[in-house]
Amino acid sequence: MSDEKAARLAAIRAAKAAEQAPDLAPVEGAAPANNDEKSARPATVRATKAAAQAPALPPIRAVADYDLDSLPPMPLQTMLLTLMAVGVGVFAAVVALPTWLPGLSASLLGSEPKAYWYLSRSSAMVSYALLWLSMVFGLLMTSRVARAWPGGPVTFDLHQHASLLGLAFALFHALILMGDGYVQSTLQQVLVPFAYKGYNPTWVGLGQVGIYVMTIISLSFYVKGQIGRTAWKLIHILSFAMFALALVHGVWSGTDSGLSWIKGFYWFTGGSVIFLTVFRILMSFAHRKRQVPANGQLQGAK
């Protein structure tokens, strides 16, 4: 338990003890106090001193906001292992699978290679879906719905894990194209935004920028204590730009964006993020109006 919580509990207990204790002030002409009153006097004195010595406490924030601020991020080792798995997956797709499954060689190494293209397309959709889930969990994290189920801490973990897995699939989506002999992407073209000139360079470049923004946001969980809560929140605002870049990249450069169910998925995910963002802003304004300032009077009360 932190010092702030311990002080708050001590002040609450002291105040309750003072309210429940009998009035022990001497009254002129009254009968001497009995033994019960005498035994209660030391407890009352101690409670009064504890209440007087308790440090002044800041205004109480929303429970969900307070608890989520103290939640630890995913272990750094887990994040590094997940990113290493991306490299292993790329190696397996480029080297191991053709050896283990010779029937795949025609697709992987033939005159019209398709397997790498299929892997890139499928991993792109998975990455986008995880990114959308991360946005949804992040916007619902402090709402009453999330506190009721599955709970604020669980929602925070889902938000962070979805973000990390989305980053991993996004990296796989980009790196796997180096094995495609038709696209012929180099490592420089994959890593440098707008360096690729073969296919929709502008929209592909925006997707590359989105991956770097996603990386910054994911790593910000581990430097929150060094940069401060305000700076961390400002970095997290970039999540909206990252989602917009991913959506634009998918719509304008995605091979499957012309399919009706893909269009419906883009409309649903984009619309739901906009709806939850507006809902979060409105709930934030309503919460500020209900907050009790230090003087104990409701804001806006006459």
Domain chopping of the chain, boundaries: 1-23+37-60, 63-289
d(Cα 6, Cα 184) in Å, to the nearest integer? 62
**pLDDT tens track for 46-99:** 655 655 565 544 443 443 444 555 666 777 777 778 778 777 777 666 666 656
The count of C-alpha atoms lying within 13 angstroms of the C-alpha of 168, restricted to the half-sphere facing its C-beta, is 20
Lowest mean pLDDT among 34-38, 219-223, 255-259: 34-38
Contacts of residue 1, Cβ cutoff 8 Å, sequence gap at least 6 = 9
Q: What is the mean pLDDT of residues 204-219?
A: 93
Q: Is 29 left (phi over 0), alpha (psi -120 to 50) or beta?
A: left
99 or 22, which is more confident? 99
pTM: 0.69
Work out the pLDDT band at 301, boundaries 50, 70, 90. very low
Q: Where are the alpha helices (DSSP H) in 94-228?
A: 97-100, 105-109, 115-140, 144-148, 152-175, 187-191, 201-220, 224-227
- Residue 195: Cβ within 10 Å count: 15
d(Cα 159, Cα 140) in Å, to the nearest integer? 10
> Is residue 271 scored above 90 in pLDDT?
yes
> Is residue 115 scored above 80 in pLDDT?
no
Most confident listed range (124-133, 155-164, 175-184, 278-287): 124-133
Work out the pLDDT band at 105, boundaries 50, 70, 90. low
**Percentage of the chain exceeding pLDDT 90:** 28
d(Cα 11, Cα 55) in Å, to the nearest integer? 9
CA dihedral sign of residues 175, 84, 237, 150: positive
- Residue 288: Cβ within 10 Å count: 9
Query: What pLDDT sits at residue 93?
Result: 66
Work out the pLDDT band at 302, boundaries 50, 70, 90. very low
Residue burial 199-232, b: 16+ Cβ < 10 Å; e: rest: eeeebbbbbbebbebbeebbebbeebeeeeeeeb
